[in-house]
Amino acid sequence: MNVSKIKVLIIDDSALIRQMLTKILNSAYDIEVIGTAADPYIARNKIKRLNPDVLTLDVEMPRMDGLVFLSHLMRLRPMPVIMISALTQKGADITLQALEYGAVDFIAKPQIDIAQTFDAYSEEIISKIRVAACAKLQKIPKVAPKYPPDIIIEKKPRFRHFKTTEKIIAIGASTGGTEAIKQLLVQMPADTPGIAISQHIPATFSYSFAMRMNQLSAMTVYEAENDKVILPGYVYIAPGGYHLLVERSGSRYICRLNQGNPVNRHRPSVDVLFRSVAQNVGPNGIGVILTGMGDDGACGITEMHEAGAITVAQDEHTSVVWGMPGEAIKRGGIDHILPLYKIADKLISLI
C-alpha cells in the first residue's frame, strides 16, 4: 500500500543537527525529509520550491533568528512548525514566544551523546511531526510503557465531600496548551479561586512558562512547590519532571509534588492531577481539559465528574490537537464543551 509521506524541511545552522534530524525522520515509514537549510534565507527559497508539509525550525540562527523568520512565515504563508530549542533559559523564553507566534510545538535539540536516549527522542519528534501534519496518530509505535495514574495515586472508593464555597480549578493541557493556558489566564480576575495546572512541558521550560504567565495574568503565577498552600488569586504550574497533586491538609489544600514514573508517558501527568482533585476536592473542584495529543487527563476528569465536580472541555474547532478533550468527551466526563475564548467566562460564572 502506498503511503503519502509527510514532507519535512529542516532549518538549522548546525550541519550535524541537520544530519541527525534527517536520519531520525527518514526512519519513519510516513515521513520524508525533502530538504535542509542552514538559515532562513535559504529556507525561504526552498519552501517556495519544495512546498513542505512541516518545518522544523532552530530557535537561534545566524542572519535572521528563528522568531523573526517564524513571524514572517505565519503572516505570509502559515504552515505547521516544530521549534527545535536548546535547553537553556534563553532557549526556553524564545520557544514560548514562538508558540505565541503560531508554532505548533517544540522539542529539545538532539544531544551529541544521544545514544542512550536515541529511541525515545526519535519516537517523540516523529510523533510531533505527525501531529503537526494532522496525520493519524494511532499508528505511532509505542516504545515506552504507558503507565496508568494508579502507579502514582491509587484509585479509591468515592469519598463524601461537603459542598462549600471554596473552589479549586484544575487545568490540563498538552500540544498547543501553553498558548491556550495563556489565553485563559489573562481573562481570569485577581480573586479567582486557586488554580492548579498540569501542562506537558520539559523541566527547563516550566519555570520560564510560569514567569511569563505571571507577567500577563492578574493572578499570581508560580511554578508549584511541595507543600505550598493553594490560595485564591494564585496559579500553581507543575514543574517539568514532577507530577502535581492537590491534597488536603486540615482545612487547607496544598500542592504535593511526586517524581514517580511517567503516567501515560508524561510527567507531569494530567490524569494524576485530576484524580487527586477528584479524591481530595470532590464537588468543590472544577476541571478544565484543553488542547492536547493523546488521552492523558480523560480518565482523571471523568473521575472528577463522577465525584461531583463541574468539568469543561475545549471544543475541536479551537484546539490545536483535539486528542485529550475529545477522548474525555467520549468517556462521558464533560459537562460543558466550549471554544477556548468562552471558557474563562464559564469559569467566572461557576465561581
Give catalytic residue positions.
Answer: 174, 200, 296
Q: Which set of grid coordinates corresponds to residue 153?
A: 495515586
What is the rounded distance in angstroms from the CA atom of residue 175 to the CA atom of residue 281? Answer: 27
Residue 305 vs residues 6, 235, 280, 287, 331: alpha-carbon distances, Å: 39, 22, 13, 8, 11
DSSP count for the chain of H helices, then E strands: 11, 14
Is-contact 177 213, C-beta < 8 A?
A: no
Which residue carries 505565519 as its cell? 74
How far is Cα 229 from Cα 253, in angstroms, rounded to an integer? 6
Rounded Cα distance between 74 and 18, Å, is 23
Other beta carbons within 10 angstroms of residue 144's beta carbon come to: 11
